[in-house]
Amino acid sequence: MAHQTHAYHMVDPSPWPLTGAAAALLMTSGLAMWFHYNSMLLLTLGLLIMLLTMFQWWRDIVREGTFQGHHTPPVQKGLRYGMILFITSEVFFFIGFFWAFYHSSLAPTPELGGYWPPTGITPLNPFEVPLLNTAVLLASGVTVTWAHHGLMETNRSQTIQALTLTILLGLYFTALQTMEYYEAPFTIADSVYGSTFFVATGFHGLHVIIGSTFLIVCLLRQIKFHFTSTHHFGFEAAAWYWHFVDVVWLFLYVSIYWWGS
């Protein structure tokens, strides 16, 4: 049997890219069906197939790396570059929404009364729940770093406790933000204020949920002894993503909640 003479991973054929593309097609066409023909069938099917694809694709990566040993140092380096590039693309995604906010708020139009916040809008007090949310996310940044050090220092119980605490803080943030959304005196339909507020904070909230899910997967893998003290890139990627989510919140808080009030 011929063996490779390089340290890279030539992946086996996989159906998940195809199912992922199928899910993307179903979700986009499903969105159109939902908008125009009052049917959520295609959309739901698309979402289901997307979730199945994500679960199975990433499960396969865990199998290839942890159980089959394909993640040599060069392969890990590539994964690091990949995660950094992905997070960078997400940064630019948020830059767009901050651009929209600053464009609208630095020169408020006559339709808004020439003011920001616009006439009639009562913004949320930045020193109430939003400040608590800031503290929660900052604390979660500390706990995830604590978990990382526990992992590097082969301290299983501390790693599991710190990671669990991080996840609980993340869930607490989501719960608080959900309550804020429900109780807010303005809606997404309330002029460009509502649009910029809910689209920017809404996408951030989605990223918090994604980040929390990633951390939960890491917790399950850590419990099942997948990570070693020197090789735990999945955890590092989750921690990077979580710090990114935290930084985005800080910008949101300062720009929209504080300056924007």
Partner 1 sequence: MASRLLRVCGTLRALRRPPCPWPGGIPSNEKQATGLERKVMQDMEKGQDPYNILQPKRYPKEDPNLVPSISSKRIVGCICEEDNSCVIWFWLHKGEPQHCPSCGAHYKMVPHHLPH
Residue numbers at the binding site for partner 1 (CB under 8 A): 5-7, 67-74, 151, 153-157, 159-160, 220, 223-225, 227-231
Q: Which helix (H) or strand (E) holds 194?
A: helix 191-223
Residue pair 194/103 in contact (Cβ under 8 Å)? The answer is no
Q: Which is nearer to partner 1, 124 or 151 (CB)?
A: 151
State the minimum distance, in angstroms, from the CB of residue 153 to partner 1.
Answer: 7
Which backbone phi and psi does 187 adopt, to 5 degrees? -120, 180
Q: Any idea how long the chain is? A: 261
Which residue number, 7 or 210, has a Cβ lying nearer to partner 1?
A: 7
Number of neighbours of residue 219 by Cβ within 10 angstroms: 19
CB of 10 to partner 1, least distance (A): 11
Contacting residues for 158 by C-beta, under 8 A, at least 6 apart: 146, 147, 150
Of 75 and 184, the one with the shorter C-beta distance to partner 1 is 75
Q: Shortest CA distance to 96 belongs to which of 203, 174, 190?
A: 203
At 238, list the tokens.
């989750």
The smaller minimum CB distance to partner 1, of residues 187 and 229, is found at: 229
Q: Least Å distance between CB 50 and partner 1?
A: 20
Comparison of 13 and 73: residue with beta carbon closer to partner 1? 73
Instruction: Read off the tokens for 128.
Output: 């109430």
Q: What is the nearest approach in angstroms of partner 1 to the Cβ of residue 147? A: 11
Q: How many CB atoms lie within 10 A of CB 91?
A: 12
Give least dist CB 110 to partner 1, A: 59
Cα gap 193→241, rounded to integer Å: 28
Query: Radius of gyration over alpha carbons of the chain, in Å?
Result: 21
Q: 94-118 in b/e burial notation, b at 16+ Cβ within 10 A?
A: beebbeebeebbeebeeebeeebbb
Residue 89 or 157: the one with the smaller Cβ distance to partner 1 is: 157
Query: Whole-number minimum distance, CB 31 to partner 1, in Å?
Result: 31
Q: How far is the CB of 236 from partner 1 (least distance, A)?
A: 14
Distance CA 191, CA 118 (A): 8
162 or 248, CB closer to partner 1?
162
